[in-house]
Structure 1
């Protein structure tokens, strides 16, 4: 009935890693780790999304702008807008969409 999941804690910093933590009919939560200097290549989200930085320092690029984000910061972005992310240091963040 109740479970503890250690995916985030055990997710390595090896370039780009994406793990789906939760998927329901209404939303999904992705756990993403980026090694320092690694890039999450340009892509779009199928729905409006929330990004929460758990640890690290990333730059989120969208609509010709760059947004530096650090540990415990939150950022929201719209669906179907091309974006990409670069890690300035080993980083982990959640995408909720």
Structure 2
């Protein structure tokens, strides 16, 4: 083994070590980017879960639909109760306009 063979072997070893370091740095950079993306996705998921938690469930929607129907029925009853009152007010108005 001559000095030239030794230099060639050290040069080859140097290239192999540098290649391994470059590959390791590339993989770690990808891992860091993936970790950042996963953290961002977890944050988005937490925000979405918080919004979903405040949405009404099926039972509440059903109860609200029943309440809306009850309010509509009450308004219909009030409308029917106001018909005679409107008629009476119209009669009084006509009387006051024609007789006074």
* Length-normalised TM-score, structure 2: 0.15
Which structure's residues are more often helix, by fraction?
2
User: What is the TM-score with the length of structure 1 in the denominator?
Assistant: 0.16
- Structure with larger RCO (C-alpha < 8 A, sep 6+): 1
